């Protein structure tokens, strides 16, 4: 039997890699993990966590306006980016420390350096050391991608936002996915003049058409200058900012440009070619339903596989990997009916099929309602929310649920349990409403608004 330095070597210290390392170590395995950047990965350091804190920060201006409508004598106040950024970085430092402590307490050896594959069981570290492992888990995540165009480097990507010395007076956001739309809302709420260009007909491609349409309306109503069917042709740095020429015939100057034009798997320089692993079309590590590559000793989880790019999914994939490899219980990854939220303003929460997907599969009934919520109506705001259920006409199962509202992310987590369990429309109907709430509409819609 060959002798290895470790039973498992994990490349990548994001949420998925850290969870897999800790769980494998709990089985008694000898585990090591290499991370060339900060422990915690995209979600903790450059993604979900700092972004959500910025979402919170950006909402207070609107809260103060609403408070006056409710009788509070408040001034608007001013936002201090320097104060917020300092506290934000301190919180990220704290969270990174928590991740390191969790790994250390689990007995995982940490290498703060880049790792590269040199064989089915072999890893070369950037500091010159070489180690071996019975199993290798690739969990290197993904990174933002700039478009292929001249001077693209003058634009920011999402990783850069959290380190800005100061907020720009104006910014152009290029893209229409959830990252672009979330940062449009965040920066607009913090007082930045936001313009957004998206080449497609409507933002948030892949989400329910009715829901994404309402989000677009709300973004424009809040002051985001959103242009669909528009892309940039040229970009260049000039004395007074960044000059952008676009397909809508305009040339404008902005203080900053943010490219939110997609993410790619982090496989460059990983050494896949050295072990005969052929990456997929987008550079991803190709795996089967057990997260195993074509090299039996090597597995991959998370965004580097370009399956479902969500932190909780990477964690689940890591747990399934450990169950399969170290607990002797082959466990395929379940990617069905995953709830998710887009932290736009208002939020979009979704689980299951969109109306467009469902009607292509089987006859469906659509239950939906849109209304002004009590809190906003009293404050004189015109904001509307959407509650929507997609129901199979024959089985009566709820195939999809879509919510556009403040705190939609909190609501969809709970609705996701029911949809995952296979609840029917009648199960929803039998549930007593919690009144007065927005979410009660999910259990009080009696007649479909349309069938398909």
> Hey, which residues does 119 pair with through a beta bridge?
122
Check pLDDT > 90 for residue 302: yes
The total number of structural domains that make up the chain: 3
Per-residue three-class SS string for the chain: CCCCCEEEEEECCEHHHHHHHHHHHHCCCCEEEECCCCCEHHHHHHCHHHHHHHHHHHCHHHHHHHHHHCCCCCCCCCCCHHHHHHHHHHHHHHHHHHHHHHHHHHCCEEECCCEEEEECCEEEECCCCEEEEEEEEECCCEEECCCCCCCHHHCECHHHHCCCCCCCCEEEEECCCHHHHHHHHHHHHCCCEEEEEECCCCCCCCCCHHHHHHHHHHHHHCCCEEEECCCEEEEEEECCEEEEEECCCCEEEECEEEECCCEEECCCCCCHHHHCCCCCCCCCCCCCCCCECCCCCEEECHHHHCCCCCHHHHHHHHHHHHHHHCCCCCCCCCCCCCCEEECCCCEEEEEECCHHHHHHHCCEEEEEEEECCHHHHHCCCCCCEEEEEEEECCCCEEEEEEEEECCHHHHHHHHHHHHHHCCEHHHHHHCCCCCCCCHHHHHCCCCCCEEC
Please compute the mean of the pLDDT values over residues 171-175 and round it to a whole number: 98
Do both 269 and 257 map to the same domain? no
Whether residue 147 is predicted with pLDDT greater than 80 in this model: the reply is: yes
Q: Tell me whether residue 406 is in a domain.
A: yes
Residues 314 and 415 in one domain: no
What pLDDT is stored for residue 2 in this prediction?
73
Q: 115 and 43: one domain?
A: yes
Residue range 350-371, pLDDT digits in tens:
999 999 999 999 999 999 999 9
CATH number, domain of 217, equals 3.50.50.60
> What is the arithmetic mean of pLDDT over 136-165?
96
Angstrom distance (rounded) from CA 82 to CA 184:
20
pTM comes to: 0.96
Is residue 348 in a domain?
yes
Residue 334 lies in a domain: no
Model confidence pLDDT, tens digit, residues 368-426: 999 999 999 999 999 999 999 999 999 999 999 999 999 999 999 999 999 999 999 99
Query: Could you tell me the end-to-end alpha-carbon distance of the chain, in angstroms, rounded to an integer?
Result: 61
Computed over every residue of the chain, the mean pLDDT equals 97
pLDDT level of residue 325 (50, 70, 90 thresholds): very high
Do residues 138 and 31 both lie within one domain? yes
Residue 284: HSE in the Cβ half-sphere, 13 Å Cα cutoff: 21
In Å, what is the CA distance from 399 to each residue of 39, 238, 309, 356?
A: 38, 51, 21, 12
Residue 255 lies in domain: 152-261
* Structural domain contains residue 220: yes
Residues 57 and 95 in one domain: yes
Q: Is the pLDDT of residue 125 over 90?
A: yes
Asked if residue 192 and residue 134 are part of one domain, the reply reads no
Residue ending a domain, choose from 273, 292, 325: 325
Does 82 map to a domain? yes
* Burial tier of 3 (Cβ tally within 10 Å: 0-12, 13-18, 19+): exposed
- The answer on 108 and 228 residing in a single domain is no
Specify if 232 maps to a domain: yes
> Are 136 and 272 members of one domain?
yes
> Could you tell me the CA-to-CA distances from 298 to 25, 119, 264 in Å, in that order?
17, 10, 20
Look at residue 192 in the predicted model and tell me its pLDDT.
Answer: 98
- Backbone dihedral angles phi then psi of residue 215, each to the nearest 5 degrees: -60, -45
Are residues 245 and 293 located together in one domain of the fold?
A: no
Q: Are 73 and 106 contained in the same domain?
A: yes
Q: CA–CA separation, 380 vs 278, rounded Å?
A: 57
Percentage of the chain lying above the pLDDT 90 cut: 98
* Domain edge (last residue) among 261, 281, 302: 261
pLDDT at 76: 83
Q: Does 110 lie in the same domain as 180?
A: no
Q: Which residue among 223, 243, 261 closes a domain?
A: 261
User: pLDDT band at residue 75, thresholds of 50, 70 and 90?
Assistant: confident
CA–CA dist 365, 211 (Å, integer): 16
> What CATH number is given to the structural domain containing 424?
3.30.390.30
**Of 137, 167, 169, 143, which is closest to residue 157 (Cα–Cα)?**
143
pLDDT at 1 over 60: no
In a domain, 335, yes or no: no
298 has a pLDDT exceeding 90: yes
Indicate whether 306 belongs to any domain.
yes
Residue 29 and residue 130 share a domain = yes
Residues with catalytic annotation? 435
Q: Rounded to an integer, what is the distance from CA 135 to the centroid of its chain? A: 29
């Amino acid at each position: 039997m060959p002798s290895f330095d470790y039973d498992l070597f994990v490349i990548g210290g994001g949420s998925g890699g850290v969870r897999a390392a800790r769980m494998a170590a709990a089985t008694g395995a000898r585990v090591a993990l290499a991370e060339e950047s900060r422990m915690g990965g995209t979600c903790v350091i450059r993604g979900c966590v700092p972004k959500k804190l910025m979402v919170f920060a950006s909402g207070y201006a609107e809260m103060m306006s609403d408070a006056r409508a409710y009788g509070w004598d408040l001034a608007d106040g001013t936002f201090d980016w320097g104060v917020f950024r300092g506290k934000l970085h301190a919180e990220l430092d704290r969270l990174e420390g928590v991740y390191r402590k969790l790994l250390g307490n689990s007995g995982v050896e940490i290498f703060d350096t880049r790792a590269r594959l040199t064989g089915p069981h072999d890893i070369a570290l950037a500091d010159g050391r070489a180690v071996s492992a019975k199993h290798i888990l690739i969990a290197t995540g993904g990174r933002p991608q700039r478009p292929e165009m001249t001077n693209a480097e003058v634009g920011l990507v999402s990783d850069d936002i959290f380190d800005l010395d100061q907020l720009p007076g104006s910014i152009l956001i290029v893209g229409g996915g959830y990252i672009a739309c979330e940062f449009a809302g965040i920066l607009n709420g913090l007082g930045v003049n936001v313009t957004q260009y998206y080449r497609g007909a409507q933002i948030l491609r892949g989400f329910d058409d009715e829901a994404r349409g309402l989000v677009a309306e709300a973004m424009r109503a809040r002051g985001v200058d959103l242009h669909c069917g528009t892309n940039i042709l040229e970009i260049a740095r000039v004395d007074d900012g960044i000059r952008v020429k676009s397909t809508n015939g305009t040339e404008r100057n902005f203080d900053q440009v943010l490219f939110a034009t997609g993410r790619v798997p982090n496989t460059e320089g990983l050494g896949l070619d050295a072990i005969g692993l052929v990456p997929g079309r987008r550079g991803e590590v190709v795996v089967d339903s057990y997260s195993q590559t074509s090299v039996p000793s090597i597995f991959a989880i998370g965004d580097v596989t370009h399956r479902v790019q969500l932190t909780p999914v990477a964690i689940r994939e890591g747990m399934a990997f450990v169950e399969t490899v170290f607990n002797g219980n082959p466990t395929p990854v379940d990617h069905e009916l995953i709830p998710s939220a887009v932290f736009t303003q208002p939020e979009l929460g979704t689980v299951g099929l969109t109306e467009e997907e469902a009607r292509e599969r089987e006859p469906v009934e659509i239950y939906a309602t849109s209304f002004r919520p009590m809190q906003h109506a009293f404050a004189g705001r015109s904001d509307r929310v959407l509650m929507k259920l997609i129901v199979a006409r024959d089985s009566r199962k709820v195939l999809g649920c879509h919510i556009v509202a403040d705190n939609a992310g909190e609501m969809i987590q709970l609705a996701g349990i029911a949809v995952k369990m296979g609840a029917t429309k009648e199960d929803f109907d039998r549930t007593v409403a919690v009144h007065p709430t927005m979410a009660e509409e999910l259990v009080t819609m009696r007649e479909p608004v349309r069938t398909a």
